[in-house]
Structure 1
């Protein structure tokens, strides 16, 4: 691999305009193909393994439900009874909308100042005319709004519109990332190079995702996740290569040779780091939901393209940048103050008392992870949206005027062929004090099903909801199915909690094997996996403290406590484990390289951390600001994803890489690189470290 990467880097640098032209052609061709053959993103909300899906399918078979719906909530701000004529007119306008099958009778609050109209569609929620499109509903309610009444939209169709993806935070994050790169590299030209390469790779990857959507269902959220990860790792990979290139320039090599050596050395770390990220993303397929499949494949496409851009476009741009990539003092041959790097001094300090530092760092991570014991998950609903969002206002109005359970009614479906089952179900529901009320039993037009609607005494996100659903399923007749969106969400949460351990086992197992191949060690991979799991768990703990407990939640625009989104644990684990392994590969490659050359286990840690500390710290800081940019978005699920990933990277780059790694490696000494002979013979040889390089041609003044 080393010789191939060397030739790739040297060739790219020797012919920079060919490479740049090839990338321009690639991006343009991919965009043209995506425009011609790509497909829009769409969601598939059916989950065959969910118990509630059976009831939904039954309703669909008999044409009475299981399709999209919306709620129109009308409220008089003065508290006066609503005019019936206005409600009737609004009902007729709603019935005239395309795809609407029916609009049920208005449900009035006790003081008649609030009415809820339920709009039933003849298509599933994933229909392209309905998913995320509330303009028809907005047009239908405009006359009622003009009359002075408050009208808010809730339910499935408005919920899919969600909060608009602003992008302002992400742009600010990129700007801060550019500033960090200027400080890290000491060159404005060098700072712009990693961002340019990452953006080029991401542009090609975005078109690839559109083409993927033509072959399978790709979630509408998948491009956002792919962009978040692709931009972060793309800048990291490019920064690693630029840093190594600059090192060789400062040793006196010309630009072409420096690029070849940078790709031959750090390029291997990029390759293996990207492979570990891809392995983690493939673990998402074990979650059992098509949404995760699309998340994993879309993000994998982005990672492949940004890694390719790093290995080819970066050396080409480095050749064009020439000596402008060097700090100004070096370019002008001014002497530089030579001080031992802070990371080297820090590693030496930790190495002197490794056990103390290891215990301190471990204790801090365990404290941060402690709140995870109170972790509660639930798919995000309107109650978690910002207070100004129409779906949140509709939710709050319904809860205040009709009761908290009105936002999450349970639907019990009973075949009429089961004699007496419907009456037994009604009796069971009435006897449960957790049920606040029942609507009259209705029968499908074909007479095949009896449908009972029950409202719990608490909101859908209440921690008592899963137990209520489980208890009802156990108490109701065997022929009855408890369905609706609230049971559906409960089933999804249960499924994802069970699948989480399967995903963890796969990702950790394969990653440990890859690290064993790279570093010929048993303890290093196991230790790396344990540390990554610890930092990710600590990030989960911070999410619980912020979102569930409400600690400092107002700082990120969250106005009330809420459960963690059910989508977060698996998604964040798969992404974060791969990203954490990136830094592990970057650091251990240098340590292993030094150890093989010197045989000094402690000194190699100090020198390896000294060589990589600056680039890892800069890379982590860039990743953090990019992720925090996403945490400024209005959608709470995006906030949780952005904040959780930013916290995990901070912990990984500080407590783990700067404390636990040097402390544990100092404690273990030569045992870090122990590998039984039988296992050494069994594992194929994959060398990630570099061989001794030829002596430099000359030293630059001041270096």
Structure 2
């Protein structure tokens, strides 16, 4: 069967011939996307956009009716020595109320002495109010209230005033996100540059991949702003885009440049070396990028808008990085030639090592190939041991106080409020829609709900009702028993939905009574994620299988790829559970275990890791297949492929681990979980999996690696390297002349 035209080689050859067009075209595209994105502005998700299930429908009913519930806020007045009856304590409460009211931003301010929001031991009082105006922008307008309370707090040294609520909590998260994003930029980039300097030993060669990755991220940011007009995105999406863009952008360039340098070291001329790099590493980059993008597309099956934003952002940055690696990178390399090694660092000079098929494998690889079964069993056992804590993984939608650092003032206030006034920070919100909300039947139903809810013990006072007569909607705020998210609160929510509401507010079939609020949202969100696991996993693994089958024309290789990637993923799950749920070594990453994994994390980590793992797998197996296609036996091809790619895979893995580890040092809990999970998985994947498990399994399988059923012979045969004009004898090493001629054939299409 005739081999298919190598698209990567064609693009590389075109770019090398049209250097200025490729370079200035890239710069123009980056600038144009940045300008257009800046003009459009990034559209963020509203609170209703996050919802799903019953709580999502409750939020949608309010949005459709044009009802926006004001953002609730609380001020905790606390003293270890004074009690609520002491004059100084009362004065602090009065001054806090006056400070809040004086900003003109508050409404419905509740005096704790009138609402009864005083703790049993009298050392705490809770002032509740709502922020005027659009709740979606309340976080941007809450600062004057924060400042006014800070002044009142200074005037009362014997009393502490702490603020927490929807606006102040979101502001705290946004501030932390901004600080973390800046910190990640200023840490990850220099760290990646330092590693690249060590890898290449030359300043220019080290800077080039970083520049391409950064420009890819900038272009993707602009494109994301445009696409967000159709699919709004979460505030964390920019950080996810940066993380992915830096990781894959640098890696793709690294694969390309290292192969070009290797071919130059083997005696190729500049043009041939670049063309061979395009045909081999370029094709691996193309296949890897498509695989990563397809894996990210699996997030569309989650049914959650926040995941759709993540998917779009990562797909955009990955495809832009692939396009840059296949076009502008060859153009710049053709311009520079051997000058790419300019700016050599004393003591770090690196020479590309040319590996030959008959070369003796290193000590570790030699041991693996001599006893593949032993190393396969030990490697798999080790990964499964790491994965074992994941059997007890608990996921939940982390609250503001869990996401923020434990020593954050807002988080501390939230935790104090939860412990002293259970249910107050996050009451259930029942949206009651009926034909006539002012009718005797409706008011009687609401009264009956209050009576039954309080009698059940699952709901506490104060139950507050806000009636929107013109919309025939009543919004009922009902504090749940428990702390708002523990088992007691979950049982209260179940009782509310399953018994209390049907018996009181849903007597008429036409009435709607939907439960929202933080706990309901978290419960529905988790349920949706759990139901989406099977379709997401099936899509990602199914399409990955098809791509690997198409690339290598081997179902065995495709299945091996999936199994090895799954081992990396479950090992990451185990480490995340051990650190962030069980608290094993949590102090090593500068955090305190919150007892759960962020609900969206397992699904997102699976999709990202499955895509990224294919980077190394495609690159390594392509090199093995390249050797095998040249007539080298299976085990010798495995040894050659592993040794030829060991340096670049280790370097690329180290860069990815460093970038992800930076996110593991940030303050936000979800960043820590994401960073640690990805860093551990990539480290295992680039070392244990690719250096031990992959060669061990391929050595055990032998010639079966390349078995193709007769009914799949129609699959196109893709070139993985230099094509000799005539088949080489089995187990014979092609000559340099044959390799050079085949490179010309592969890359020019002649």
TM value normalised by structure 1? 0.90
| Cα distance change, pair 565–216 in 1 and its aligned pair in 2 (3 A) | same
Say whether 1:347 aligns with 2:365: yes
Of 159, 172, 184, the residue aligned with 2:169 is 159
Q: Please list every run of 5 or more consecutive structure 1 residues that lacks an aligned counterpart in the other structure.
A: none
Per the alignment, residue 672 of structure 1 pairs with 705
Per the alignment, residue 281 of structure 1 pairs with 296
Q: CA deviation at 1:539?
A: 0.4
State the SS of the aligned residue for 2:49: coil
Q: Matched residues in 2 for 1:570 and 1:139: separation?
A: 40
**1:561-619 deviations in whole A, cap 9, x for unaligned?**
33100121111111111001111110110111111222511111111101111111111
Q: Matched residues in 2 for 1:63 and 1:665: separation?
A: 61
Indicate if the aligned counterparts of 2:429 and 2:475 stay in contact, CA closer than 8 A: no
Q: Matched residues in 2 for 1:242 and 1:334: separation?
A: 13
Per the alignment, residue 577 of structure 1 pairs with 610
Of 343, 363, 374, the residue aligned with 1:356 is 374
**1:226-250 deviations in whole A, cap 9, x for unaligned?**
1100110000000000011101211
Indicate if the aligned counterparts of 1:54 and 1:481 stay in contact, CA closer than 8 A: yes
Per the alignment, residue 396 of structure 1 pairs with 415
Say whether 1:24 aligns with 2:24: no
What are the residue-to-residue correspondences of 1:467-482 with 2, within 5 Å?
467-478=491-502, 479=506, 480-482=513-515
Say whether 1:201 aligns with 2:216: yes
| Cα distance change, pair 75–185 in 1 and its aligned pair in 2 (3 A) | same
Per the alignment, residue 439 of structure 1 pairs with 462
Q: Matched residues in 2 for 1:216 and 1:481: separation?
A: 26
Q: Matched residues in 2 for 1:51 and 1:267: separation?
A: 48
What are the residue-to-residue correspondences of 1:617-632 with 2, within 5 Å?
617-632=650-665
| Cα distance change, pair 103–688 in 1 and its aligned pair in 2 (3 A) | farther
Per the alignment, residue 691 of structure 1 pairs with 723
State the SS of the aligned residue for 2:476: strand
Q: CA deviation at 1:371?
A: 0.9
Per the alignment, residue 73 of structure 1 pairs with 76
What are the residue-to-residue correspondences of 1:539-550 with 2, within 5 Å?
539-550=572-583
Q: Matched residues in 2 for 1:510 and 1:444: separation?
A: 51
Per the alignment, residue 91 of structure 1 pairs with 97
Indicate if the aligned counterparts of 2:51 and 2:525 stay in contact, CA closer than 8 A: no
Per the alignment, residue 139 of structure 1 pairs with 147
What are the residue-to-residue correspondences of 1:96-111 with 2, within 5 Å?
100-106=106-112, 107-111=117-121
Say whether 1:219 aligns with 2:223: no
Per the alignment, residue 486 of structure 1 pairs with 519
Say whether 1:243 aligns with 2:267: no
Q: Matched residues in 1 for 2:104 and 2:389: separation?
A: 48
Q: CA deviation at 1:158?
A: 2.0
Q: CA deviation at 1:145?
A: 2.5
Q: CA deviation at 1:284?
A: 0.8
State the SS of the aligned residue for 2:161: strand
- Segment of structure 1 superposing worse, 377-386 or 96-105: 96-105
Q: Matched residues in 2 for 1:258 and 1:412: separation?
A: 68
Indicate if the aligned counterparts of 1:386 and 1:557 stay in contact, CA closer than 8 A: no
Per the alignment, residue 370 of structure 1 pairs with 388
State the SS of the aligned residue for 1:152: strand
**1:24-66 deviations in whole A, cap 9, x for unaligned?**
3332222222232333544454355321234445566788874
Per the alignment, residue 331 of structure 2 pairs with 316
- Segment of structure 1 superposing worse, 319-328 or 558-567: 319-328
Indicate if the aligned counterparts of 1:283 and 1:574 stay in contact, CA closer than 8 A: yes
TM value normalised by structure 2? 0.84
Q: Please list every run of 5 or more consecutive structure 2 residues that lacks an aligned counterpart in the other structure.
A: 507-512, 726-733, 740-750
Indicate if the aligned counterparts of 2:589 and 2:664 stay in contact, CA closer than 8 A: yes
| Cα distance change, pair 431–661 in 1 and its aligned pair in 2 (3 A) | farther
Q: Matched residues in 2 for 1:3 and 1:272: separation?
A: 11
| Cα distance change, pair 549–390 in 1 and its aligned pair in 2 (3 A) | same
Q: Matched residues in 1 for 2:331 and 2:447: separation?
A: 76
Q: Matched residues in 1 for 2:51 and 2:190: separation?
A: 44
Q: CA deviation at 1:462?
A: 2.8
Q: Matched residues in 1 for 2:649 and 2:694: separation?
A: 13
| Cα distance change, pair 515–451 in 1 and its aligned pair in 2 (3 A) | same
Two-structure CA RMSD over aligned residues (Å)? 3.4
Q: CA deviation at 1:71?
A: 2.4
| Cα distance change, pair 665–315 in 1 and its aligned pair in 2 (3 A) | same
**1:489-512 deviations in whole A, cap 9, x for unaligned?**
111111112112211111111111
Of 197, 217, 225, the residue aligned with 1:182 is 197
Indicate if the aligned counterparts of 1:547 and 1:561 stay in contact, CA closer than 8 A: yes
State the SS of the aligned residue for 1:184: helix
Indicate if the aligned counterparts of 1:413 and 1:452 stay in contact, CA closer than 8 A: no
What are the residue-to-residue correspondences of 1:43-54 with 2, within 5 Å?
43-47=46-50, 49-54=52-57
State the SS of the aligned residue for 1:71: strand
Q: CA deviation at 1:698?
A: 13
The alignment covers a number of residue pairs equal to 693
Indicate if the aligned counterparts of 2:427 and 2:477 stay in contact, CA closer than 8 A: no
Q: Matched residues in 1 for 2:47 and 2:318: separation?
A: 24
Q: Matched residues in 2 for 1:686 and 1:225: separation?
A: 33
Q: Matched residues in 2 for 1:169 and 1:577: separation?
A: 23
Q: Matched residues in 2 for 1:276 and 1:647: separation?
A: 21
Q: CA deviation at 1:485?
A: 1.3
Q: CA deviation at 1:449?
A: 3.9
| Cα distance change, pair 51–436 in 1 and its aligned pair in 2 (3 A) | closer
Per the alignment, residue 508 of structure 1 pairs with 541
Indicate if the aligned counterparts of 1:95 and 1:102 stay in contact, CA closer than 8 A: no
State the SS of the aligned residue for 1:647: helix
**1:459-495 deviations in whole A, cap 9, x for unaligned?**
3343554454334422324225433111111111111
Indicate if the aligned counterparts of 1:278 and 1:300 stay in contact, CA closer than 8 A: yes
